[in-house]
Chains A and B, each alone.
Chain A
Amino acid sequence: MFLGGVALCIGLAGAGLAAAHPHVFVDTGFEVDIDAEGRVAGIWINWTYDDLFSLIIIEDRGLDPDFDGVLTAAELAGLQGWDMQWDPGYPGDTYALQGGVALALSGPSEWSAAYADARISTRHYRAFAAPVVIGAAPLVVQVYDPGFYTAYAITAGVVIRGGRNCAAEVFEPDRAAADQILQDAMAEQAGSADVEMAFPAVGAAYAEEARISCAAGS
Protein backbone atom coordinates (compact mmCIF):
# COMPACT_ATOMS: atom_id res chain seq x y z
CA MET A 1 0.00 0.00 0.00
CA PHE A 2 2.67 2.40 1.05
CA LEU A 3 4.75 1.65 -2.03
CA GLY A 4 1.66 2.40 -4.05
CA GLY A 5 1.48 5.81 -2.45
CA VAL A 6 5.11 6.42 -3.27
CA ALA A 7 4.49 5.40 -6.89
CA LEU A 8 1.60 7.86 -7.01
CA CYS A 9 3.84 10.60 -5.70
CA ILE A 10 6.54 9.92 -8.26
CA GLY A 11 3.94 9.92 -11.01
CA LEU A 12 2.53 13.25 -9.91
CA ALA A 13 6.00 14.76 -9.61
CA GLY A 14 6.84 13.72 -13.16
CA ALA A 15 3.58 15.32 -14.24
CA GLY A 16 4.45 18.64 -12.66
CA LEU A 17 7.90 18.71 -14.19
CA ALA A 18 6.80 18.29 -17.78
CA ALA A 19 3.99 20.83 -17.71
CA ALA A 20 5.27 23.58 -20.00
CA HIS A 21 2.57 24.44 -22.47
CA PRO A 22 2.23 26.71 -25.50
CA HIS A 23 -0.18 29.59 -26.01
CA VAL A 24 0.46 30.31 -29.67
CA PHE A 25 0.16 27.76 -32.46
CA VAL A 26 1.87 28.30 -35.79
CA ASP A 27 1.49 26.28 -38.98
CA THR A 28 4.86 26.41 -40.68
CA GLY A 29 5.97 25.86 -44.25
CA PHE A 30 9.34 26.22 -46.02
CA GLU A 31 10.36 27.09 -49.55
CA VAL A 32 13.80 26.19 -50.85
CA ASP A 33 15.38 27.16 -54.16
CA ILE A 34 18.03 24.69 -55.32
CA ASP A 35 20.28 25.41 -58.29
CA ALA A 36 21.53 22.89 -60.84
CA GLU A 37 24.60 22.12 -58.74
CA GLY A 38 22.44 21.34 -55.71
CA ARG A 39 23.29 24.59 -53.92
CA VAL A 40 20.92 26.41 -51.61
CA ALA A 41 21.41 30.07 -50.73
CA GLY A 42 18.71 30.39 -48.09
CA ILE A 43 15.26 29.40 -46.87
CA TRP A 44 11.84 31.02 -47.17
CA ILE A 45 9.77 30.54 -44.02
CA ASN A 46 5.96 30.76 -43.95
CA TRP A 47 4.13 31.11 -40.66
CA THR A 48 0.34 31.06 -40.23
CA TYR A 49 -0.81 31.99 -36.72
CA ASP A 50 -3.81 30.41 -34.99
CA ASP A 51 -7.18 32.18 -34.97
CA LEU A 52 -6.98 33.45 -31.40
CA PHE A 53 -3.46 34.85 -31.61
CA SER A 54 -4.29 36.40 -35.00
CA LEU A 55 -7.33 38.08 -33.42
CA ILE A 56 -5.14 39.33 -30.57
CA ILE A 57 -2.64 40.90 -32.98
CA ILE A 58 -5.42 42.43 -35.08
CA GLU A 59 -7.07 43.92 -31.98
CA ASP A 60 -3.75 45.08 -30.53
CA ARG A 61 -3.25 47.15 -33.64
CA GLY A 62 -6.85 48.29 -33.85
CA LEU A 63 -7.26 46.74 -37.31
CA ASP A 64 -10.41 45.39 -38.96
CA PRO A 65 -12.80 47.48 -36.82
CA ASP A 66 -15.82 46.14 -38.72
CA PHE A 67 -14.81 42.49 -38.01
CA ASP A 68 -15.47 41.44 -41.58
CA GLY A 69 -12.17 39.54 -41.74
CA VAL A 70 -10.86 41.76 -44.55
CA LEU A 71 -8.18 44.43 -44.13
CA THR A 72 -8.03 47.58 -46.20
CA ALA A 73 -4.86 48.23 -48.18
CA ALA A 74 -3.76 50.77 -45.58
CA GLU A 75 -4.40 48.33 -42.71
CA LEU A 76 -2.50 45.59 -44.50
CA ALA A 77 0.41 47.96 -45.03
CA GLY A 78 0.49 48.57 -41.28
CA LEU A 79 0.69 44.85 -40.61
CA GLN A 80 3.85 44.32 -42.67
CA GLY A 81 6.83 43.26 -40.60
CA TRP A 82 4.94 43.11 -37.27
CA ASP A 83 6.65 39.83 -36.30
CA MET A 84 10.04 40.69 -37.80
CA GLN A 85 11.32 43.19 -35.21
CA TRP A 86 13.61 40.69 -33.54
CA ASP A 87 15.58 41.44 -30.40
CA PRO A 88 19.34 41.12 -30.89
CA GLY A 89 20.38 37.53 -30.41
CA TYR A 90 16.89 36.13 -31.02
CA PRO A 91 17.47 33.11 -33.26
CA GLY A 92 14.10 33.38 -34.98
CA ASP A 93 12.90 29.87 -34.10
CA THR A 94 14.21 28.44 -37.38
CA TYR A 95 17.31 26.27 -37.24
CA ALA A 96 19.22 24.64 -40.10
CA LEU A 97 21.62 21.74 -39.79
CA GLN A 98 23.62 19.53 -42.09
CA GLY A 99 25.36 16.38 -40.96
CA GLY A 100 24.60 17.31 -37.36
CA VAL A 101 26.33 20.70 -37.70
CA ALA A 102 24.33 23.89 -37.17
CA LEU A 103 24.32 26.29 -40.14
CA ALA A 104 24.25 30.02 -39.40
CA LEU A 105 21.24 31.90 -40.77
CA SER A 106 21.01 35.63 -41.46
CA GLY A 107 18.36 37.85 -39.91
CA PRO A 108 15.01 38.00 -41.69
CA SER A 109 14.55 39.91 -44.93
CA GLU A 110 12.00 40.35 -47.72
CA TRP A 111 9.14 39.84 -45.32
CA SER A 112 5.45 40.14 -46.03
CA ALA A 113 2.22 39.62 -44.11
CA ALA A 114 -1.28 38.65 -45.20
CA TYR A 115 -4.65 38.23 -43.51
CA ALA A 116 -7.14 35.67 -44.77
CA ASP A 117 -9.81 33.49 -43.16
CA ALA A 118 -9.27 35.39 -39.90
CA ARG A 119 -5.65 34.22 -39.67
CA ILE A 120 -2.44 36.16 -40.13
CA SER A 121 0.25 34.63 -42.33
CA THR A 122 3.75 35.98 -42.70
CA ARG A 123 6.66 35.04 -44.93
CA HIS A 124 10.34 35.87 -44.61
CA TYR A 125 13.71 34.85 -46.04
CA ARG A 126 16.87 33.84 -44.23
CA ALA A 127 20.17 33.37 -46.04
CA PHE A 128 23.03 31.00 -45.24
CA ALA A 129 26.46 32.57 -44.69
CA ALA A 130 27.64 30.60 -47.73
CA PRO A 131 25.59 28.45 -50.13
CA VAL A 132 24.95 24.98 -48.78
CA VAL A 133 25.43 22.00 -51.09
CA ILE A 134 22.88 19.25 -50.65
CA GLY A 135 24.98 16.19 -51.28
CA ALA A 136 25.49 13.12 -49.19
CA ALA A 137 23.91 14.76 -46.13
CA PRO A 138 20.41 16.18 -46.34
CA LEU A 139 19.64 19.76 -45.31
CA VAL A 140 17.66 19.66 -42.09
CA VAL A 141 15.38 22.57 -41.17
CA GLN A 142 13.77 22.68 -37.74
CA VAL A 143 11.35 25.19 -36.28
CA TYR A 144 10.76 25.50 -32.55
CA ASP A 145 10.55 27.89 -29.63
CA PRO A 146 13.06 26.74 -27.00
CA GLY A 147 10.71 27.94 -24.25
CA PHE A 148 7.69 26.32 -25.91
CA TYR A 149 5.47 29.42 -25.61
CA THR A 150 4.81 28.96 -29.30
CA ALA A 151 4.11 25.54 -30.79
CA TYR A 152 5.27 25.21 -34.39
CA ALA A 153 4.18 22.40 -36.67
CA ILE A 154 5.40 21.88 -40.23
CA THR A 155 1.90 21.51 -41.62
CA ALA A 156 1.97 24.13 -44.37
CA GLY A 157 4.13 22.10 -46.74
CA VAL A 158 7.72 22.21 -47.96
CA VAL A 159 8.13 23.56 -51.48
CA ILE A 160 11.27 22.73 -53.44
CA ARG A 161 12.06 24.65 -56.60
CA GLY A 162 14.86 23.47 -58.90
CA GLY A 163 17.53 20.90 -58.13
CA ARG A 164 17.70 17.40 -59.48
CA ASN A 165 15.56 14.69 -57.93
CA CYS A 166 15.26 16.62 -54.73
CA ALA A 167 12.55 15.89 -52.20
CA ALA A 168 11.53 16.91 -48.71
CA GLU A 169 10.24 14.77 -45.88
CA VAL A 170 8.79 15.97 -42.60
CA PHE A 171 9.70 14.02 -39.47
CA GLU A 172 7.87 13.93 -36.18
CA PRO A 173 9.94 14.16 -33.02
CA ASP A 174 10.71 11.05 -31.01
CA ARG A 175 8.53 11.86 -28.00
CA ALA A 176 10.03 9.30 -25.66
CA ALA A 177 13.58 10.40 -26.42
CA ALA A 178 12.62 14.05 -26.03
CA ASP A 179 10.99 13.37 -22.66
CA GLN A 180 14.16 11.68 -21.48
CA ILE A 181 16.23 14.70 -22.52
CA LEU A 182 13.83 16.99 -20.64
CA GLN A 183 13.94 14.86 -17.49
CA ASP A 184 17.75 14.76 -17.62
CA ALA A 185 17.97 18.51 -18.06
CA MET A 186 15.55 19.02 -15.15
CA ALA A 187 17.51 16.64 -12.94
CA GLU A 188 20.72 18.49 -13.75
CA GLN A 189 19.18 21.85 -12.86
CA ALA A 190 17.56 20.55 -9.70
CA GLY A 191 21.06 20.08 -8.27
CA SER A 192 21.99 23.71 -8.76
CA ALA A 193 21.05 26.49 -6.36
CA ASP A 194 19.79 28.79 -9.10
CA VAL A 195 16.10 27.99 -9.22
CA GLU A 196 15.44 31.11 -11.27
CA MET A 197 17.10 29.41 -14.22
CA ALA A 198 15.08 29.41 -17.39
CA PHE A 199 13.19 26.42 -18.70
CA PRO A 200 15.83 24.13 -20.20
CA ALA A 201 16.21 24.71 -23.92
CA VAL A 202 14.98 21.30 -24.94
CA GLY A 203 12.65 22.55 -27.65
CA ALA A 204 14.90 21.08 -30.34
CA ALA A 205 14.20 17.58 -29.10
CA TYR A 206 10.47 18.21 -29.55
CA ALA A 207 10.82 19.92 -32.92
CA GLU A 208 9.44 18.62 -36.14
CA GLU A 209 11.98 18.83 -38.92
CA ALA A 210 12.02 18.91 -42.70
CA ARG A 211 14.83 16.92 -44.33
CA ILE A 212 15.64 17.99 -47.86
CA SER A 213 17.73 15.59 -49.89
CA CYS A 214 18.69 15.14 -53.52
CA ALA A 215 19.20 11.77 -55.13
CA ALA A 216 22.88 11.01 -55.78
CA GLY A 217 24.24 10.73 -59.36
CA SER A 218 22.41 11.75 -62.55
Chain B
Amino acid sequence: MSDIPASGGRFAVRLALGLGLVVAVGLGLIWALGGYQALLDWVLVEQRRAQSTLAAALRALRGGAPGAMAGLMVVCFSYGVLHAAGPGHGKVLIGGYGLAQRVRLGPLAAVALAASLAQAAAAVLLVYGFFAVLGWTRARTEGVAEQVMVPLGTLAVMGVGLWLCGRGVLRLWRGRPEVGAHAHVHGPECGNAHGPSPEQINQIGGARDVALLIAGIALRPCTGALFLLILTWQMGIALAGVAGTFAMGLGTASVTIAVAGLSVWAREGLLANLSGARVARVLPWLEVLAGALVVMIALGMLQQGR
Protein backbone atom coordinates (compact mmCIF):
# COMPACT_ATOMS: atom_id res chain seq x y z
CA MET B 1 0.00 0.00 0.00
CA SER B 2 2.84 2.33 0.70
CA ASP B 3 3.68 2.16 -3.01
CA ILE B 4 0.59 4.04 -4.01
CA PRO B 5 1.45 7.50 -2.78
CA ALA B 6 4.99 7.04 -4.00
CA SER B 7 3.96 6.03 -7.52
CA GLY B 8 1.27 8.70 -7.45
CA GLY B 9 4.00 11.20 -6.63
CA ARG B 10 6.21 9.84 -9.37
CA PHE B 11 3.34 10.13 -11.80
CA ALA B 12 2.83 13.76 -10.84
CA VAL B 13 6.52 14.44 -11.34
CA ARG B 14 6.47 12.71 -14.72
CA LEU B 15 3.41 14.67 -15.72
CA ALA B 16 4.97 17.97 -14.66
CA LEU B 17 8.17 17.16 -16.49
CA GLY B 18 6.30 15.86 -19.52
CA LEU B 19 4.47 19.14 -19.72
CA GLY B 20 7.85 20.78 -20.34
CA LEU B 21 8.32 18.68 -23.43
CA VAL B 22 4.82 19.54 -24.64
CA VAL B 23 5.49 23.25 -24.08
CA ALA B 24 8.85 23.05 -25.88
CA VAL B 25 7.46 21.09 -28.82
CA GLY B 26 4.49 23.45 -29.01
CA LEU B 27 6.79 26.47 -29.08
CA GLY B 28 8.98 24.72 -31.65
CA LEU B 29 5.99 24.09 -33.90
CA ILE B 30 4.70 27.67 -33.60
CA TRP B 31 8.25 28.76 -34.37
CA ALA B 32 8.53 26.50 -37.42
CA LEU B 33 5.10 27.39 -38.79
CA GLY B 34 5.82 31.08 -39.26
CA GLY B 35 5.73 32.24 -35.66
CA TYR B 36 9.41 33.05 -35.87
CA GLN B 37 8.84 35.45 -38.74
CA ALA B 38 6.13 37.14 -36.72
CA LEU B 39 8.56 37.39 -33.81
CA LEU B 40 11.27 38.84 -36.06
CA ASP B 41 8.85 41.39 -37.48
CA TRP B 42 7.90 42.39 -33.96
CA VAL B 43 11.55 42.54 -32.89
CA LEU B 44 12.30 44.76 -35.91
CA VAL B 45 9.63 47.28 -34.95
CA GLU B 46 10.66 47.19 -31.30
CA GLN B 47 14.36 47.42 -32.13
CA ARG B 48 13.72 50.51 -34.17
CA ARG B 49 11.79 52.03 -31.28
CA ALA B 50 14.55 51.02 -28.84
CA GLN B 51 17.18 52.67 -31.07
CA SER B 52 15.27 55.94 -31.00
CA THR B 53 14.76 55.69 -27.25
CA LEU B 54 18.45 54.89 -26.81
CA ALA B 55 19.46 57.98 -28.79
CA ALA B 56 17.08 60.11 -26.74
CA ALA B 57 18.38 58.62 -23.47
CA LEU B 58 21.99 59.35 -24.46
CA ARG B 59 21.13 62.92 -25.31
CA ALA B 60 19.23 63.32 -22.03
CA LEU B 61 22.18 61.93 -20.10
CA ARG B 62 24.61 64.23 -21.87
CA GLY B 63 22.32 67.14 -21.13
CA GLY B 64 22.28 66.22 -17.43
CA ALA B 65 18.56 65.42 -17.25
CA PRO B 66 17.51 63.88 -13.92
CA GLY B 67 16.90 60.13 -14.03
CA ALA B 68 18.65 59.86 -17.38
CA MET B 69 21.08 57.18 -16.17
CA ALA B 70 18.27 54.93 -14.93
CA GLY B 71 16.44 55.53 -18.20
CA LEU B 72 19.50 54.49 -20.19
CA MET B 73 19.87 51.27 -18.17
CA VAL B 74 16.23 50.36 -18.81
CA VAL B 75 16.56 50.97 -22.56
CA CYS B 76 19.77 48.95 -22.71
CA PHE B 77 18.26 46.04 -20.80
CA SER B 78 15.25 45.99 -23.16
CA TYR B 79 17.55 46.16 -26.16
CA GLY B 80 19.40 43.11 -24.84
CA VAL B 81 16.15 41.20 -24.35
CA LEU B 82 15.02 42.08 -27.88
CA HIS B 83 18.33 41.13 -29.40
CA ALA B 84 18.41 37.77 -27.63
CA ALA B 85 14.78 37.02 -28.47
CA GLY B 86 15.28 37.77 -32.15
CA PRO B 87 18.60 37.27 -33.86
CA GLY B 88 20.76 36.41 -30.85
CA HIS B 89 22.71 33.18 -31.08
CA GLY B 90 23.12 32.51 -27.35
CA LYS B 91 19.78 30.76 -27.07
CA VAL B 92 20.81 28.27 -29.77
CA LEU B 93 23.97 27.29 -27.89
CA ILE B 94 22.45 27.16 -24.43
CA GLY B 95 19.28 25.47 -25.64
CA GLY B 96 21.18 22.96 -27.76
CA TYR B 97 23.51 22.09 -24.92
CA GLY B 98 20.64 21.85 -22.44
CA LEU B 99 18.81 19.41 -24.69
CA ALA B 100 21.86 17.29 -25.38
CA GLN B 101 23.44 16.98 -21.95
CA ARG B 102 21.95 15.98 -18.62
CA VAL B 103 22.96 19.19 -16.93
CA ARG B 104 21.13 20.75 -14.02
CA LEU B 105 19.41 24.06 -14.54
CA GLY B 106 21.56 25.90 -11.99
CA PRO B 107 24.95 25.39 -13.64
CA LEU B 108 23.51 25.88 -17.14
CA ALA B 109 21.84 29.14 -16.12
CA ALA B 110 25.10 30.26 -14.49
CA VAL B 111 26.96 29.59 -17.75
CA ALA B 112 24.28 31.52 -19.67
CA LEU B 113 24.69 34.50 -17.36
CA ALA B 114 28.49 34.35 -17.41
CA ALA B 115 28.50 34.13 -21.20
CA SER B 116 26.25 37.18 -21.61
CA LEU B 117 28.43 39.21 -19.25
CA ALA B 118 31.53 37.98 -21.07
CA GLN B 119 29.96 39.10 -24.35
CA ALA B 120 29.50 42.58 -22.86
CA ALA B 121 33.09 42.55 -21.59
CA ALA B 122 34.34 41.51 -25.04
CA ALA B 123 32.54 44.47 -26.63
CA VAL B 124 34.08 46.83 -24.05
CA LEU B 125 37.57 45.41 -24.61
CA LEU B 126 37.18 45.64 -28.39
CA VAL B 127 36.02 49.24 -28.40
CA TYR B 128 38.41 50.45 -25.70
CA GLY B 129 41.34 48.51 -27.14
CA PHE B 130 41.07 49.52 -30.78
CA PHE B 131 38.86 52.57 -30.93
CA ALA B 132 39.73 54.44 -27.75
CA VAL B 133 43.38 53.45 -27.17
CA LEU B 134 44.71 52.77 -30.67
CA GLY B 135 42.56 55.49 -32.22
CA TRP B 136 41.03 53.37 -34.93
CA THR B 137 37.98 54.70 -36.75
CA ARG B 138 34.51 53.45 -35.97
CA ALA B 139 34.31 51.62 -39.31
CA ARG B 140 37.65 49.87 -38.75
CA THR B 141 36.72 48.83 -35.21
CA GLU B 142 33.38 47.48 -36.38
CA GLY B 143 35.28 45.71 -39.16
CA VAL B 144 37.33 43.77 -36.59
CA ALA B 145 34.11 42.73 -34.88
CA GLU B 146 32.48 41.61 -38.12
CA GLN B 147 35.44 40.09 -39.91
CA VAL B 148 37.50 38.59 -37.08
CA MET B 149 35.48 38.11 -33.93
CA VAL B 150 32.19 37.05 -35.47
CA PRO B 151 33.76 34.25 -37.59
CA LEU B 152 35.80 33.08 -34.58
CA GLY B 153 32.66 33.05 -32.46
CA THR B 154 30.82 31.13 -35.14
CA LEU B 155 33.62 28.56 -35.22
CA ALA B 156 33.27 28.18 -31.45
CA VAL B 157 29.52 27.68 -31.88
CA MET B 158 30.25 25.06 -34.51
CA GLY B 159 32.79 23.50 -32.16
CA VAL B 160 30.11 23.04 -29.50
CA GLY B 161 27.82 21.45 -32.09
CA LEU B 162 30.49 19.10 -33.44
CA TRP B 163 31.59 18.21 -29.91
CA LEU B 164 28.03 17.28 -28.88
CA CYS B 165 27.37 15.49 -32.13
CA GLY B 166 30.67 13.61 -32.08
CA ARG B 167 30.20 12.51 -28.50
CA GLY B 168 26.74 11.17 -29.34
CA VAL B 169 27.93 9.40 -32.49
CA LEU B 170 30.81 7.83 -30.60
CA ARG B 171 28.41 6.49 -28.01
CA LEU B 172 26.05 5.13 -30.68
CA TRP B 173 28.93 3.60 -32.60
CA ARG B 174 30.16 1.81 -29.49
CA GLY B 175 26.78 0.24 -29.33
CA ARG B 176 25.53 -0.45 -25.83
CA PRO B 177 26.03 2.68 -23.75
CA GLU B 178 27.48 0.59 -20.89
CA VAL B 179 30.52 -0.22 -23.01
CA GLY B 180 31.01 3.42 -23.81
CA ALA B 181 30.78 4.32 -20.17
CA HIS B 182 33.55 1.89 -19.27
CA ALA B 183 35.65 2.94 -22.20
CA HIS B 184 36.03 6.46 -20.94
CA VAL B 185 35.05 6.78 -17.34
CA HIS B 186 36.83 10.10 -16.93
CA GLY B 187 33.92 12.13 -18.25
CA PRO B 188 31.14 12.61 -15.71
CA GLU B 189 28.53 12.63 -18.48
CA CYS B 190 29.55 9.16 -19.52
CA GLY B 191 28.15 7.60 -16.39
CA ASN B 192 24.56 8.12 -17.54
CA ALA B 193 23.95 4.62 -18.72
CA HIS B 194 24.41 3.01 -15.31
CA GLY B 195 21.84 5.16 -13.61
CA PRO B 196 24.61 7.09 -11.90
CA SER B 197 24.35 9.23 -8.83
CA PRO B 198 22.85 12.69 -9.28
CA GLU B 199 26.19 14.30 -8.51
CA GLN B 200 27.70 12.46 -11.45
CA ILE B 201 25.10 13.26 -14.05
CA ASN B 202 24.34 16.80 -13.09
CA GLN B 203 27.66 18.42 -13.69
CA ILE B 204 28.31 20.50 -16.76
CA GLY B 205 30.56 18.32 -18.88
CA GLY B 206 33.89 19.76 -17.90
CA ALA B 207 35.76 23.02 -18.19
CA ARG B 208 36.18 22.53 -21.93
CA ASP B 209 32.41 22.61 -22.49
CA VAL B 210 32.01 25.69 -20.33
CA ALA B 211 34.84 27.45 -22.15
CA LEU B 212 33.41 26.60 -25.59
CA LEU B 213 29.92 27.72 -24.62
CA ILE B 214 31.14 31.02 -23.22
CA ALA B 215 33.50 31.64 -26.15
CA GLY B 216 30.75 30.86 -28.65
CA ILE B 217 28.53 33.49 -27.10
CA ALA B 218 31.08 36.10 -26.03
CA LEU B 219 33.08 36.30 -29.25
CA ARG B 220 30.15 37.56 -31.28
CA PRO B 221 29.65 41.08 -29.97
CA CYS B 222 26.32 42.73 -30.62
CA THR B 223 26.57 45.66 -33.01
CA GLY B 224 24.16 47.60 -30.82
CA ALA B 225 26.65 47.40 -27.94
CA LEU B 226 29.49 48.62 -30.18
CA PHE B 227 27.35 51.56 -31.32
CA LEU B 228 26.60 52.42 -27.69
CA LEU B 229 30.23 52.17 -26.52
CA ILE B 230 31.62 54.23 -29.38
CA LEU B 231 28.91 56.88 -29.06
CA THR B 232 29.28 57.30 -25.31
CA TRP B 233 33.06 57.53 -25.65
CA GLN B 234 32.67 60.28 -28.24
CA MET B 235 30.06 62.07 -26.14
CA GLY B 236 32.22 62.04 -23.02
CA ILE B 237 29.92 59.72 -21.05
CA ALA B 238 32.03 56.59 -21.43
CA LEU B 239 31.19 54.99 -18.08
CA ALA B 240 27.48 55.18 -18.83
CA GLY B 241 28.20 53.28 -22.04
CA VAL B 242 30.07 50.53 -20.20
CA ALA B 243 27.25 50.24 -17.65
CA GLY B 244 24.71 50.19 -20.48
CA THR B 245 26.61 47.44 -22.27
CA PHE B 246 26.45 45.25 -19.16
CA ALA B 247 22.74 46.10 -18.81
CA MET B 248 22.34 44.79 -22.38
CA GLY B 249 24.21 41.66 -21.27
CA LEU B 250 21.77 41.14 -18.39
CA GLY B 251 18.92 41.57 -20.89
CA THR B 252 20.28 38.86 -23.19
CA ALA B 253 20.98 36.67 -20.14
CA SER B 254 17.34 36.86 -19.10
CA VAL B 255 16.37 35.25 -22.42
CA THR B 256 19.14 32.64 -22.53
CA ILE B 257 18.41 31.63 -18.92
CA ALA B 258 14.75 31.16 -19.84
CA VAL B 259 15.85 29.02 -22.79
CA ALA B 260 18.13 27.06 -20.45
CA GLY B 261 15.14 26.36 -18.22
CA LEU B 262 12.97 25.30 -21.12
CA SER B 263 15.60 22.98 -22.56
CA VAL B 264 16.21 21.26 -19.21
CA TRP B 265 12.47 20.96 -18.62
CA ALA B 266 11.85 19.50 -22.09
CA ARG B 267 14.76 17.06 -21.90
CA GLU B 268 13.83 15.77 -18.46
CA GLY B 269 10.21 15.59 -19.63
CA LEU B 270 11.24 13.27 -22.41
CA LEU B 271 13.51 11.14 -20.23
CA ALA B 272 11.09 10.93 -17.29
CA ASN B 273 8.55 9.24 -19.53
CA LEU B 274 10.94 6.58 -20.75
CA SER B 275 12.09 3.45 -19.02
CA GLY B 276 15.69 3.31 -17.80
CA ALA B 277 16.90 1.22 -20.73
CA ARG B 278 15.29 3.55 -23.22
CA VAL B 279 16.81 6.58 -21.56
CA ALA B 280 20.21 5.08 -22.22
CA ARG B 281 19.28 4.50 -25.85
CA VAL B 282 17.75 7.94 -26.40
CA LEU B 283 20.46 10.05 -24.75
CA PRO B 284 23.12 9.64 -27.46
CA TRP B 285 20.50 10.43 -30.10
CA LEU B 286 19.60 13.60 -28.26
CA GLU B 287 23.27 14.58 -28.31
CA VAL B 288 23.58 13.85 -32.02
CA LEU B 289 20.39 15.72 -32.93
CA ALA B 290 21.04 18.76 -30.78
CA GLY B 291 24.68 18.86 -31.92
CA ALA B 292 23.71 18.61 -35.60
CA LEU B 293 21.20 21.38 -35.06
CA VAL B 294 23.81 23.68 -33.53
CA VAL B 295 26.19 22.92 -36.44
CA MET B 296 23.46 23.69 -38.99
CA ILE B 297 22.71 27.00 -37.35
CA ALA B 298 26.42 27.85 -37.17
CA LEU B 299 26.68 27.16 -40.91
CA GLY B 300 23.76 29.51 -41.44
CA MET B 301 25.53 32.17 -39.38
CA LEU B 302 28.73 31.75 -41.41
CA GLN B 303 26.77 32.33 -44.60
CA GLN B 304 25.13 35.42 -43.23
CA GLY B 305 28.39 36.72 -41.86
CA ARG B 306 26.73 38.58 -39.04
Contacts and interface: CB of A to CB of B under 8 A. Distances in A.
B is a partner of A: yes
Interface of A: 1-2, 4-23, 25, 50-56, 59-60, 62, 67, 118, 149, 151, 175-176, 179, 186, 189-190, 195-200
A5 B289 contact: yes
Contacts of A151: 44, 48
Contacts of A55: 55, 58-59, 231
A18 B37 contact: yes
A56 B25 contact: no
A198 B56 CA distance: 34
Given A21-B87, A51-B55, A54-B55, A16 B297 contact: yes
B227 A11 contact: no
A12 B35 CA distance: 11
Interface residues of B, number: 64
B213 interface: no
A132 B285 CA distance: 61
A127 to B, nearest CB: 29
A190 B299 contact: yes
A60 B194 CA distance: 62
B86 A19 contact: yes
A203 to B, nearest CB: 13
Main secondary structure of the interface of B (DSSP, over half): helix
B180 interface: no
8 contacts: A8-B29, A9-B28, A12-B28, A13-B297, A16-B296, A22-B44, A50-B55, A118-B56
A12 B293 contact: yes
Contacts of A189: 303
Given A17-B300, A18-B37, A21-B40, A59 B235 contact: yes
Main secondary structure of the interface of A (DSSP, over half): helix
A8 B43 contact: no
B40 A18 contact: yes
A8 B92 contact: no
Contacts of B62: 67
B21 A4 contact: yes
A51 B51 contact: yes
B31 to A, nearest CB: 4
Q: Closest 7 interchain pairs by CB?
A: A16-B297, A8-B28, A11-B32, A51-B55, A4-B25, A11-B28, A52-B51
Contacts of B128: none
A75 to B, nearest CB: 15
A175 B51 contact: no
A23 B224 contact: yes
B95 A6 contact: no
A56 B303 contact: no
B22 to A, nearest CB: 8
B293 A20 contact: no
Contacts of B302: 195-196
A8 B25 CA distance: 5
B306 interface: yes
Interface in B121-164: 138
